[in-house]
Structure 1
Amino acid sequence: MKRDLDLVRMILLEAEEADGRLDLSRFVDASHSLDLLGFHVAMMADAGLVDAEVGHAVGGRCSSVTVNRLTWAGEDYLDAIRSDTVWQRVKAAMRDTVGDTALSVVKEAGLALSLSLIKAKLGV
């Protein structure tokens, strides 16, 4: 499976808004299987963005996906890409230059763009 940064962002936003644990089974649809959600949440946990549980049934298929909470790193990453304006511009820059890239690069690009927008607003 290939990492989908839009899906990562959506999961982070939903987890932040949740009162407690977030069961991702409610996001299963024609575009997002439970296996796909589990793959992304497991990768997000590996990256230190979330504390989560991904259950597997006999045969290896994903049986449950729960995000318990965002970590400090997850909150920082989300803060860098939360704004729709920043997110769309970062995605366009990635698409037009490097294609896929590391989460750390996406975060740094989001932070740099946010800082640039704030400086422009302040006139500095």
Structure 2
Amino acid sequence: MRRDMDLLRLLLLKLEVLHEDAHSICYYQYEELMVEGFTQDQVAYHLDLATEAGLVDQGGRGAMNGFMFKRLTWEGHDFVDAVRDNDIWKKTRQGANAAGGFSVDLLKDLAKGFIKKKISEHTGIEI
């Protein structure tokens, strides 16, 4: 199965909204985390990738048909904050695709570059 950064982004954004209690571990059925256009297997695979990448803390392992979730990690929050804006994400994806490849860290850094440019345009301050 191929890694899909759009799906990874959407899942992290969804987990951020769903999970409001920072002190509890929640169990989500995969059906609750589905993203239009993707299969349950793709969702499960990308949640595992997010865990492996250190973007989420599962807080344990659940049953085969769901995902235990404790919180986004610091890196997970940094990634979500960098790619939250749809316009920034679109530019980030275009830039990464033009370069011919990307990683989570590269996407985050590229998105942060676009955010810095946007801040500079609005404030006149170079960051």
| TM-score, normalisation: structure 1 | 0.82
Inter-partner Cα distance in structure 1 for 2:81 and 2:7: 16
Distance apart, 1:36 and its partner CA: 1.3
Where does structure 1 differ by over 4 angstroms across 4 or more consecutive aligned residues? Answer: none
Which position in structure 2 is the counterpart of 1:16? 16
Inter-partner Cα distance in structure 2 for 1:85 and 1:69: 26
Inter-partner Cα distance in structure 2 for 1:103 and 1:50: 13
Which position in structure 1 is the counterpart of 2:89? 87
| TM-score, normalisation: structure 2 | 0.81
Counterpart contact for 1:50–1:67, Cα < 8 Å: yes
Inter-partner Cα distance in structure 2 for 1:4 and 1:38: 12
User: Of 22, 26, 41, which aligns to 2:47?
Assistant: 41
Which position in structure 1 is the counterpart of 2:99? 97
How many percent identity over aligned positions? 25
More strand by share: 1
Q: Deviations over 1:63-87 (max 9, x none)?
A: 2234332111100111111111110
Which position in structure 2 is the counterpart of 1:2? 2
Number of residue-to-residue matches in the alignment: 117
User: Of 70, 73, 78, which aligns to 1:71?
Assistant: 73
Counterpart contact for 1:41–1:54, Cα < 8 Å: no
Counterpart contact for 2:27–2:62, Cα < 8 Å: no
Inter-partner Cα distance in structure 2 for 1:29 and 1:93: 24
Query: Where do 5+ consecutive residues of structure 2 fail to align?
Result: none
- SS of the counterpart of 2:3? coil
Query: Where do 5+ consecutive residues of structure 1 fail to align?
Result: 57-62
Structure-2 change in CA distance of 1:114 and 1:41 (3 Å)? same
